[in-house]
Structure 1
Amino acid sequence: MQSYRNSDPRPPIMQGSPPRLVPPRLDWDRPPWNRWAFQHIREFLPTIEVWRGSGHRRRLDRAEVDLDDLPVADSNGAPTTLAGLLDETYADGFLVLKDGRIAYERYFNGMDERTLHLSQSMAKSITGAVCGILVGRGLIDPDKLVTDYLPELVETGWAGSTVQHVLDMTTGVRFSEEYTDRYSDIGQVDVATGWKPIPPGSEPDFAWPSHLFELILRLKDRVRPHGEAFEYRSIETDVLAFIMERVSGKRLAQLVSEELWQKLGADESACFTVDSAGYALADGGFNATLRDYGRFGQLILDNGGGVIPADWIVATRSGKHGPNFSPSLPDGSYRNQFWIEDSRSRSLMCRGVFGQLIHMSWEHRMVVVKLSSYPDFVNSAYSVATQKAVHAIAAALA
């Protein structure tokens, strides 16, 4: 089956009793199944709650502007409208906060204001922000060795690397981030975390990891000296999360709840997917509502809002820029588990495969959140068109 856009008829995935169209466990994140699955993770994967607490919700006042007909360019560079681009790029939800107030909010594909949507790799930035809190408290020193906190890793590729190397994804550890290869390291992460079953017809002597830490212990090779170059590898975030758990004595979901989500004024409790050892997947298993992703972005834009140390936000916006970070960010950078858009604006971005984005602009006092379910893991044309649309929105709201 092919995917469908919001302007197309929706296939009856998981509708009826019993439903006729049920996403296959091996391909729930592939089209068209991901258009349903990213909003319903708790229905087919084990998860753990990230409790919002019993405190007040952070009020988001509204100062709405109808941007549906805002002229933007589509993924081919042709003229279209913002509404047209959101349809083209398989949006599930789209939110614009200007000066902390809701300027524009749209839901699609069955999503609403209470739906928890899969973050994919935006979870890395959630994890990095909580790490910043622990660093500010003196529990973690970014200049210390990874093995100072996780001595078990002395026989792995992380031996000799620092926590800052992990934060910036500049360790030399060999890890293949080939999403479509089920036997790649990231493919093994899918099995280790319970996201996917062992592929049918798997080689009988292939040793699939039973949980994520088991996989980490197997990664013994280095391809370059630590600190020499950036290479995007999801497993780095998981190593960071295990460090955070080790120094705090708490599991990641509890840490994110107590240190961030309860202080955020969230509308809803969030959740993480968990593996067979109860580990919450820091590199991509977080789920939250559109507005709560917006609240997180606003907290970052407010220089931590008294929750995350302000100097951590300053450091996060201070990366080494160049063309080797991302094809869609020719002057980009990566620092403390966040993307930096360019060296001029130093806008921060949380990004995830299949079109997840939180964009935070200090220059325009604006947060944009886009939750999506692309047919492909990565589509640079969609990403570039979305970034250009963010800039068009900023100009329209100036």
Structure 2
Amino acid sequence: MLNAVGFAARHARIACAPEQAGAPSYPPSASIKLADLNYMQGFPPAADKQITRADYLIDYPKLRWAFQHMRELIPSRQISRGPQAASLLPEGENREAQINALQINLQEGESISFSEFLERSYADALLIIDQGQVIYQAYPNMADELSPHMLWSVTKSFTGLIARMLMHEGLLDGQSQVVAHIPELADSGWAGASVQQVLDMTADVKYSEVYADGTSDVIHYGLSAGITQSSEWQGPTNLYEYLPSIGADRAHGEHFAYRTVHSEVLGWIIRRVSGKDLAQQVTERIWSKLGAEQDAYILLDGKGTEWAGAGLNATLRDLGRFAEMLRQGGRYNGQQIVPQEIIAEIQRGGDRAAFARFGRQGMEGYSYHDQWWVSHNSDGVFEAMGVHGQLIHVNPGAQLSVVRLGSHPVASNDFTYAMTRRVLEALANLLRN
């Protein structure tokens, strides 16, 4: 196994939460504009402008470039938009000036504007769709509007949606045992866990997901999947070798604990029961039906297995189409893409008491269900989130969809989510009024 001390000491500069380690020393977002960084320019690029899989998460702000060029660093599989014309994404009144000036009172008594929120959250791009019409889109740090962006754990919500669709069609039973589908996990921590417990992350395995800790299992997951590289790593080099090595911990079904490896097991189950890889499932069931403007893609480990918990890349406006489809009960582009019953099931949420015991900062009152974050508020908000600032926010009650893409230096949504939640609540109230 990897002696991760040296690797993690550098990695922790990105991952440590400021509330635990003091204010971060990173430059303001506006001072590191993507256009001014000049990474990977020239033939060949200068040594200090080169980016590799080994350093893009370590040497900030290389991730600002990398999150828009992931397929140049890591193998990928296409998610096709299909041959049809792009669907219309209606343009409404441009309300950028009004929204940028919106003042939001934070919990600690501080007031910030919406434009300051974009800066603090290191936003690369943001889209707001109100009552089906685009009223705000900004690209402060995108190469262009057509650039796919790394989504990290937003991928989990796509994986959960595919699993729920298979369950709806009777091809997968949520109460079935994980090992009934994946016998290779019979001696792992997933023995005795149900598919639904994996979907809700209430299956329990001996695995820690603390990005700042060099001994954390998430570091080993990243090295096994090929998310990052280290010459010291002597462990598994693909997900199918790594997942069976994870052991058991507490009883299944009693505790919520956020763990990316559950999503990877779910991806394995989807492939096994359907006979199709995850990219093909997303292509056939969602992307080709949305009328997306661009293909999406998903990243792969060393043996061609998709990162079902982290690998999706897509453009801002296509994610807006996806969010609007969800907001409208699964209907978009003249067809019912996802059965309405599935959207209602996601909104029903999971075990709120177990979620509360987990202590997710800024998400009081939430639960986690089918790989989605569920607010249980009066608007029926549910969300997909990924580290470094990725967010799909679906608010059916306010007829509002918001997509944010980011390159925050801290690999933790805990750092920004309380602020984000207040900003989104203020935005919904502004548009409602």
TM-score relative to the length of structure 1: 0.93
Q: What RMSD over aligned residues (CA atoms) do the two structures have, in Å?
A: 1.9
Query: Does residue 1:29 correspond to 2:57, yes or no?
Result: yes
The answer as to whether partners of 2:32 and 2:61 remain within 8 angstroms in 1 is: no
**Which residue matches 2:216?**
184
User: Is the 2:106–2:422 contact (alpha carbons within 8 Å) kept by the matching residues of 1?
Assistant: no
Match of 2:312 among 286, 292, 313: 286
Q: What letter is aligned with 1:352?
A: G
User: Which sections of structure 2, spanning at least 5 residues, go unmatched?
Assistant: 1-24
- 1:163 and 1:252 map into 2 onto residues whose CA distance is 17
Q: Which residue of structure 2 lines up, in the alignment, with residue 196 of structure 1?
A: 228
Q: How does 1:67-86 map to 2 (within 5 A)?
A: 67-73=99-105, 77-86=109-118
Aligned ranges 1:28-107 → 2 under 5 Å: 28-30=56-58, 31-63=60-92, 64-66=94-96, 67-73=99-105, 77-107=109-139
SS state at 1:349 partner: strand
Q: Which deviates further from its counterpart, 134-143 or 339-348?
A: 339-348
For 1:118 and 1:34, locate their aligned partners in 2 and report how far apart those are by CA, in whole Å: 10
2:348 counterpart SS class: coil
- Count of aligned pairs: 392
Question: Which residue number in structure 2 is paired with residue 376 of structure 1?
Answer: 410
Whether contact under 8 Å (1:182, 1:188) holds in the other structure is no
Is the aligned partner of 1:321 residue 2:349? Answer: no
**Which piece of structure 1 moves more, 179-188 or 301-310?**
179-188
Corresponding position of 2:192: 160
Task: Sort the Cα spacing of 1:15 and 1:279 in 2 relative to 1 into closer, same or farther, 3 A.
Answer: same
Which residue of structure 2 lines up, in the alignment, with residue 310 of structure 1?
340
Any residues of structure 2 matched to 1:234-383 within 5 Å, and which?
234-305=260-331, 306-319=336-349, 320-322=351-353, 323-325=356-358, 326-383=360-417
Contact 1:146/1:159, CA 8 A, preserved across alignment = yes
Structure 1 Cα separation of the partners of residues 197 and 101 of structure 2:
44
Change (3 A) 1:284 1:379: closer
Residue 100 of structure 1 and its aligned partner are, at CA, apart by 1.7
* Amino acid corresponding to residue 248 of structure 2 in structure 1: R
1:310-367 superposed Cα distances (whole Å, 9 cap, x missing partner) = 2221111112324234212011100000001235443101011111111111110111
CA distance in 1, matches of 2:413, 2:174: 33
The answer to which of 17-26 and 288-297 deviates more is 17-26
Distance 2:413 2:168 in 1: 36
Cα distance in structure 1, aligned partners of 2:290 and 2:160: 16
SS of match in other structure, 1:291: helix
CA distance, structure 2, for counterparts of residue 166 and residue 370 of structure 1: 27
- How far apart are 1:15 and its partner, in Å? 2.7
User: Helix, strand or coil: the match of 2:39?
Assistant: coil
The one-letter code sitting in structure 2 at the alignment partner of 1:84 is E
Alpha-carbon distance in 2 for matches of 1:57, 1:241: 28
Seen in structure 2, the aligned counterparts of structure 1 residues 97 and 150 have a Cα distance that, compared at 3 Å, is same
Query: 2:30 is paired with a residue of what secondary structure?
Result: coil
SS in structure 1 at match of 2:127:
strand
Tell me, in whole angstroms, the C-alpha distance in 1 between the residues paired with 2:105 and 2:72: 37
Structure 1 moving runs of 4+ over 3 Å: 1-4, 7-10, 73-77, 342-346
Q: Which residue pairs with 2:7 in the alignment?
A: none
Cα distance per residue 1:10-36 (max 9 Å; x no partner): 332223332221224323124211111
Question: Residue 164 of structure 1: SS of its match in structure 2?
Answer: helix
CA apart distance, 1:86: 0.4
**Structure 2: which amino acid aligns with 1:25?**
R
Mapped partners of 2:82, 2:165: distance in 1: 18
TM-score by length of 2: 0.86
Amino acid corresponding to residue 114 of structure 2 in structure 1: L
Farther off after superposition, 67-76 or 137-146 = 67-76
What percentage of residue pairs aligned between the two structures are identical?
Answer: 34
Counterpart residue identity of residue 262, structure 1: S
AA partner of residue 321 (structure 1): R
